[in-house]
Amino acid sequence: MSGVIKPQSISHWYSKDGLPMYDIEKVKGGKRKTTIRDARKYGWFPSVTSILKIVDKPFLNAWIANQAIEACMKVSQNKLDHLLDNGHDPLPLTDSDLPEIRRLSDEVSKTAREKGQRVHREIERIVRSLAEGKIMRPEDSSLDRLTFLAFLDVYRNHTLRARLVEHSFANKRYGFGGRLDWAGTGHIRPTDNRIRTTYLDYKTQNTKGKGEFTVYAETPCQLAAYAYGTGRSYADLGTVFIDTSIEGNVQLIYHPDNDDYFYAFLEAFRVWKGPLGKKYQV
């Protein structure tokens, strides 16, 4: 049973010129995922999201553990039903059941991840169309009608104007890189309608029908790192949340205190580079 679950070590890397280095050419042709060994060899910078993986995420960890527990229960019930239907006594779970448990557990995470990626790509397409002055209708989008219209309302109500979309960068002073979703101008402060430099992130979240989004600390830390990393420490930071359980529930949440979040990010980066992390010096 040892080694059923293994730690994930996939990270994203950027050249000093800000180019994504997610993959690397194989000697015999084709590509493979970039490793930390490759990054050390070429002096590439880690991504903001890779650095923040070192920060404990108790809610995410609990969710993953719950998926594993539910998978165990489902496999056990299926096994029990099958044995009883065939006139056999029930048997406990064994090592032979582990692949199915792992498959069911991973399936939920994979489905949620892929849905988030699809929504993110569609939001990017909508934003690019808006930046080019194109008119989009609900039927032109893969988003449901209510979510599409709600996103447009958020975009227009905050007078958002994109300047950079899916922009990669690297900061030589601090030694990290990243890919920001959106940078431009708008007014996202709750009590101030002045147009300011603004950085946004898009995130899907299942509110389980409650309609209230949860902002985890790593979200504004990520945005603050993007702002400082691209020389816009003063930018207003916000996240556009898209609910996967309620159609049309789209909200833009403003994050104050850039400095505090960036200093917190730097502390996480220091741990990431040190003996409790990757032992990686940039």
Which of the four pLDDT bands, split at 50, 70 and 90, describes residue 1? very low
Q: Identify the three-state secondary structure at position 3.
A: coil
Decide: 10 and 46 in contact? Cβ < 8 Å.
no
The whole-number pLDDT of residue 141 equals: 95
The predicted-structure confidence for 64-83, as pLDDT tens digits, reads as follows 888 888 888 888 887 776 66
Q: What is the mean pLDDT of residues 39-47?
A: 96
Q: What is the mean pLDDT of residues 221-240?
A: 97
Name every residue whose Cβ is closer than 8 Å to that of residue 164 and which is 6 or more positions away in sequence.
Answer: 180, 182, 183, 184
Q: What residues does 186 pair with on adjacent strands?
A: 196
Distance, in Å, from the CA atom of 50 to the CA atom of 20, rounded to the nearest integer, reads 13
Is the pLDDT reported for residue 281 higher than 50?
yes
CA-nearest of 162, 159, 168, 237 to 200 is: 237
CA-nearest of 64, 66, 76 to 101 is: 76
Q: What residues does 202 pair with on adjacent strands?
A: 240
Distance, in Å, from the CA atom of 49 to the CA atom of 179, rounded to the nearest integer, reads 9
The whole-number pLDDT of residue 7 equals: 58
Is the pLDDT reported for residue 84 higher than 80?
no
Q: What is the mean pLDDT of residues 243-254?
A: 97
The predicted-structure confidence for 179-215, as pLDDT tens digits, reads as follows 999 999 999 999 999 999 999 999 999 999 999 999 9
Give this prediction's pTM.
0.88
Is the pLDDT reported for residue 146 higher than 60?
yes
Distance, in Å, from the CA atom of 63 to the CA atom of 124, rounded to the nearest integer, reads 28
Average pLDDT, the chain: 91
Distance, in Å, from the CA atom of 100 to the CA atom of 102, rounded to the nearest integer, reads 5
